[in-house]
Amino acid sequence: AAYDAGEHDSFMHKEMLEQPARAEAVLRGRLDERFGTGHLGGLNLDARELRAIRRVKILGCGSAYYVGEMGASLIEELARVPADAEPASEFRYRNPIIEPDTLYVAVSQSGETIDTLLAVQEVRRKGGRVIGLVNVVGSAIAREVDGGIYLHAGPEVAVASTKALTNMYLAFAMLAIQLGRVRDLSIADGRRLIAGLTALPGQIEQVLATEPQLALVAHRLAEAESLFFVGRVRGFPVAREGAQKFKEISYRHAEAYQTSELKHGPLALISPQVPTVAIVPDDELVERNVAALEQIAARGGPLVVVTHEGVDLGDAAAKADRIDVPRSERELDPILLTIPLQVLAYHAALSLGHDIDKPRNLAKSVTVE
């Protein structure tokens, strides 16, 4: 075949390992190190138009929606422009208010997801401006939008998306920096973030190199019928995407929760049979996150903690499998925290003997409503 999985057992595995190279491809030519900004020509928006944007609304489905949530928090943090993500499948049915100074962003690997396409058309029918973060060149969504950023992830075959999601994240980061640099993001912060982005492909490679250790953790997780994925603020969409990937290919029940909300209900489910994968970056919330880990450990809940080197996990440390990812700039942490969750899902599914690339009941792109 012109395009096959080569020496890999699946396209998912091949596509995960392609991420460092594909990440470089999406960044190439789009970073302005001198002025610490993004250089996204395809947006078709000049500085004055970028500056006039008062709100950003991100639309996508499934994992694209979860990466959209990561993108919304990047935009709020770096540009201080109110931003949120919404499942495109719900958007048009609630008679959304379309505002002229809102930038609508449609996110899609395939560019053919019907719900996302119809959301784009609803915005345009009401006079809104939409840009696309799309992988497939010339796809329906790419043709329908006013401008955008191609993801350059290359063909993605596995139903469980990996490299396209990573490149969506990187595209959002560049967009957020560019929106920030026409506002109050300083040149120093811009340069710091551009340097952080430039380092990411090599750091993704470092995370992928830990696959043998991740496989061992995944084999244990695969035995559980039900798992939690928890995180807070920047880490919450990471947990949502981690749970999504896990359930898609392992068919285990995986539920994402804000770590802070556990004590308001789901802590009742924690037991030695229900593991928790916790996202604990070394950020403003690390102490609170560690306190929550201790509550889980005290109830006998097995823990897998995705964190940074040097984070003290306290009393939970003895009972936790620890996965350290390289430090990035804080704002950019989510992507490196996400990569090990792909590998965990993949090895869980592999150990269960599932069809990795074609999970039951799912299609690569959902083109009928």
Task: By CB under 6 A, tell whether 160 contacts ligand AGP.
Answer: yes
178 binds ligand AGP (CB under 6 A): no
Residue 161 binds to ligand AGP (criterion: CB under 6 A): yes
Question: Residue 29 Cβ, how far from ligand AGP at the closest point, in Å?
Answer: 23
- Taking CB under 6 A as the rule, does residue 366 contact ligand AGP? yes
Closest to 20 in 3D by CA, of 218, 173, 207, 210: 207
- Out of 10, 19, 89, 116, the only residue in the binding site for ligand AGP (CB under 6 A) is 116
Q: Helix count (H) and strand count (E) of the chain? A: 13, 12
Spatial separation of the C-alpha atoms in residues 150 and 354, rounded to whole Å: 32
Check residue 276 for interaction with ligand AGP (CB under 6 A).
no
Nearer to ligand AGP, 241 or 331 (CB): 241
Facing residues of 325 across strands? 308
For ligand AGP, which stretch binds (CB under 6 A), given 97-105, 158-166, 223-231, 281-289? 158-166
110 near ligand AGP, judged by CB under 6 A? yes
Residue pair 191/185 in contact (Cβ under 8 Å)? The answer is no
102 contacts ligand AGP (rule: CB under 6 A): no
Nearer to ligand AGP, 245 or 308 (CB): 245
Q: Does 250 bind ligand AGP (CB under 6 A)?
A: no
Helix, strand or coil, per DSSP, at residue 125: helix
- Does position 218 interact with ligand AGP (CB under 6 A)? The reply is no
In order of 95, 243, 270, 287, 313, the CA distances from 228 in angstroms are 34, 8, 9, 20, 18
Q: CB nearest ligand AGP: which residue?
A: 62
The reply to whether 109 sits near ligand AGP by the rule CB under 6 A is: yes
Q: Which of 16, 40, 59, 61 binds ligand AGP (CB under 6 A)?
A: 61
Q: Could you tell me the two tokens for 44? A: 């078709």
Shortest gap between Cβ of 160 and ligand AGP (angstroms)? 4
CA distance 233 to 328: 17
Question: Is residue 341 within the footprint of ligand AGP (CB under 6 A)?
Answer: no
Shortest distance in whole angstroms from residue 110 CB to ligand AGP = 3
Distance separating alpha carbons of residues 365 and 111, to the nearest angstrom: 9
Closer Cβ to ligand AGP, 305 or 356, answer by number: 356
* Cα separation values, 185 from 69, 92, 196, 197, 308, Å: 21, 33, 15, 16, 26
| Residues linked to residue 257 through DSSP beta bridges, in sequence order | 230
Per CB under 6 A, the list member of 10, 19, 63, 289 interacting with ligand AGP is 63
Of 338, 307, 86, the closest CA to residue 292 belongs to 307
C-alpha dist (Å) from residue 85 to 60, 103, 312: 8, 12, 33
Chosen residue from 10, 73, 102, 113 binding ligand AGP by CB under 6 A: 113
Site for ligand AGP, rule CB under 6 A: 61-64, 108-110, 113, 116, 159-161, 248, 365-366
